[in-house]
Structure 1
């Protein structure tokens, strides 16, 4: 791989592929339900602030590390900080991606199941309770495990033969189509009776709802939604041409992510209040709301099927990046077969994902610190490991990586003023690490908010 390193064919292709890696379950599935559980408008403002002030600098950092090293995540840190403790950053990222994929693939299986049901016309039916439909699917072990297995099988088949051409080419068409269908969904949601109550909940901040936990969730969501912290973007940017501006590419990905997250909220919350759903419903919120919206649209089953297929693609492109960082770490040396490494990795992820898949059925009563296996894994990854990974990367690029290489990668092929590099350096040196540390101390109860 290192001897014949591929490159994205264009800046647009790289941005769409990176957006595909970032815009998936984070923006479309997780953002609405976390927002619903965390107070609505106040959480939205925190999320946007964290995404711009913390997430964007972090995304730029991972792009710099990847293109500067021209290596996948594990090898990148070994090349840039040989024989130092900083090299653990790459393996920690691989472990994080593994854990993330173990429950991410469960939700991917749900999307796959709903897509198949919608295509066959079995989702939108008269007198159907969508919460009951979701509950019956997730409470059936054979269904959830089959969805998990097939979702991972698709990942394995794609990653085993290489993903660059397929993902990049498809992303150029599928991601814009996803935006178009989301806008259609938003327009219909906003015209429902009672929609204004949902809009007010989503857009009007109520700072009395802010807690230390909601701040932590907002920070974790800003990392989760941009796929930063586990060095996935280090691997992706290692294929990036030197003629492409890193800051502008990262800015484009962040803006698209915020845009999709807002669209998701505008699509979901008007329906939540119009149909008397509970905004703090949790992981199943999207699967209950989408059918309710499309049931109010002529040819709703068809449009629901199309949207779910596009959503499935966005989910897959995100999961591809997670499996790719795991596989690339074992195939960089060229000593291991990519196909064999992919099948073994995928099988292990499937085994690890079984407890999360059964969290809504056989293991529903099994709790870890009061959370199901699914929720506990989600919390560990999103609110502990992702911030920790971001902290390590921030300290690495600030104190360890060659400063001239960092500046060269930041300023290459762009016309930004020197002050922008100074601002980014300030954020990475002070704002990013200090924010992460303060939030962690608040979570541990050492700081009271």
Structure 2
């Protein structure tokens, strides 16, 4: 294993867990999870999500940790070392390409959040008689505003990632993640003190399985591993910076626990507010940008609480995008011939240029469609429905059928109490259950049109 500089490692277990949790907690946990939960029956969906996260997401996360820490290398080099001169290296390459394509539309949404966050501080979003749908349309439909938001969002990522693991990503996550939890707790307390808030809590936490359908179950399955940032080997790269005296099992458990906790907080922050003001929980993707501003506008100190919510959403979006940038930068600097700073700035420039078509999908390029979808929607479909499930499936097959079993078991138990029973359970899940579930989600995703 190549020798890393001390600053190319996480300085502590806490730094690694917060950064890994930050990578996992993003658009999926705070934007997609609440509106999908609202459209899928509430409590029953949440219960299924938790179950699938523990049975599917946790074993996959641990698998990426084992591959990364076991080799001490970033995604592409890790597969090269473990399966030299074989096609398995394309698992890492798929991850790098997937992160790049994901950034090309994720950064656009990040730009929208950044613009909304900026508008919320002086209170320009909330206003009497404001048309929130029109406001969102004016942001997404303006080429200039969208491109400025995209540029600023990309620039923040470049400035953080270019300064390294300890000084950049870890330091940013140690600042942003505690604030994210603090802001969430403030919002939850405020939400639960509203009149009629308990109706929202009941909807979110009381399972009503009669509202579940096959589509909702598949959403919960997909969300269980999409929400943990597994499938593109981001966690392979992150765990490659981890020291050998840290237990992968406890780290993975901490990350999963924090992810479920944030999903719980998101539901408790949003649904009581929605029900308190007579809104519908199944508003879909517009829940964050259109419904919540209207609701907060009817609350005392609504401007403050909306600003806090958007700020924590921005933090979550950024901590996830750091990991997407890092897997690309780590792959391009692996040979040691290029400096991190130069590669990060070049990556930022290329990501910005590649994101322009998606950024203009609602404005200058709204006329252009392929298979009935915009550039933004096509890229989202390619990444979410094809590349991400495929990446998960390849990783699951690789760690069981190609990776050295002694190395896998050693990393599984390193710095923890040897537990043959736990290892056997993980192996059964990764051999049978996880690949089967991923295959179902993959095939179902291919049949989804929009």
**When the two structures are superposed, what TM-score results if normalisation uses the length of structure 1?**
0.91
Say which SS state the counterpart of residue 121 (structure 1) adopts. Answer: coil
Equivalent in the alignment of 1:169: 171
- Aligned partners of 2:243, 2:3: CA distance in 1, in Å? 16
Structure 1 contact 26–221 (Cα < 8 Å) conserved: yes
**Structure 2: which 5+ runs fail to align?**
none
Of the candidates 66, 69, 81, which is equivalent to residue 67 of structure 1? 69
- Aligned partners of 1:341, 1:265: CA distance in 2, in Å? 39
- Aligned partners of 2:76, 2:431: CA distance in 1, in Å? 23
Equivalent in the alignment of 2:36: 34
Say which SS state the counterpart of residue 283 (structure 1) adopts. Answer: helix
- Aligned partners of 1:153, 1:180: CA distance in 2, in Å? 26
- Aligned partners of 1:195, 1:14: CA distance in 2, in Å? 36
Structure 1 contact 268–289 (Cα < 8 Å) conserved: no
User: How far does residue 245 in structure 1 lie from its aligned partner after superposition?
Assistant: 0.4
Equivalent in the alignment of 2:4: 4
Equivalent in the alignment of 2:337: 335
Aligned CA-pair RMSD:
2.4
User: How big is each residue's C-alpha offset from its partner over 1:266-317, in whole Å with a ceiling of 9 and x where there is no partner?
Assistant: 2222333344545343333212344345445554434433443343222211
Structure 1 contact 40–203 (Cα < 8 Å) conserved: yes
- Aligned partners of 1:278, 1:366: CA distance in 2, in Å? 33
Structure 1 contact 220–383 (Cα < 8 Å) conserved: no
User: How far does residue 170 in structure 1 lie from its aligned partner after superposition?
Assistant: 3.6
Equivalent in the alignment of 2:377: 375
Equivalent in the alignment of 2:256: 254
Structure 1 contact 103–353 (Cα < 8 Å) conserved: yes
**When the two structures are superposed, what TM-score results if normalisation uses the length of structure 2?**
0.91
Alpha-carbon spacing, 1:195–1:357, altered in 2? closer, same or farther (3 Å): farther
| Matching of residue 150 in structure 1 with residue 179 in structure 2 | no
Equivalent in the alignment of 1:283: 285
Equivalent in the alignment of 1:358: 360
User: How big is each residue's C-alpha offset from its partner over 1:20-69, in whole Å with a ceiling of 9 and x where there is no partner?
Assistant: 11112221122112223334333322321221111100100000000001
Alpha-carbon spacing, 1:444–1:168, altered in 2? closer, same or farther (3 Å): closer
Equivalent in the alignment of 2:187: 185
Of the candidates 50, 54, 57, which is equivalent to residue 56 of structure 2? 54
Structure 1 contact 215–439 (Cα < 8 Å) conserved: no
| Matching of residue 434 in structure 1 with residue 449 in structure 2 | no
Structure 1 contact 138–144 (Cα < 8 Å) conserved: yes
Alpha-carbon spacing, 1:178–1:444, altered in 2? closer, same or farther (3 Å): closer
Greater CA deviation, 75-84 or 161-170?
Answer: 161-170
Of the candidates 298, 302, 305, which is equivalent to residue 307 of structure 2? 305
Alpha-carbon spacing, 1:362–1:196, altered in 2? closer, same or farther (3 Å): farther
Alpha-carbon spacing, 1:416–1:305, altered in 2? closer, same or farther (3 Å): farther
| Matching of residue 120 in structure 1 with residue 122 in structure 2 | yes
Of the candidates 159, 177, 181, which is equivalent to residue 161 of structure 2? 159
**Structure 1: which 5+ runs fail to align?**
none
- Aligned partners of 2:355, 2:421: CA distance in 1, in Å? 46
Q: How does 1:78-227 map to 2 (within 5 A)?
A: 78-227=80-229
| Matching of residue 242 in structure 1 with residue 255 in structure 2 | no
- Aligned partners of 1:282, 1:354: CA distance in 2, in Å? 25
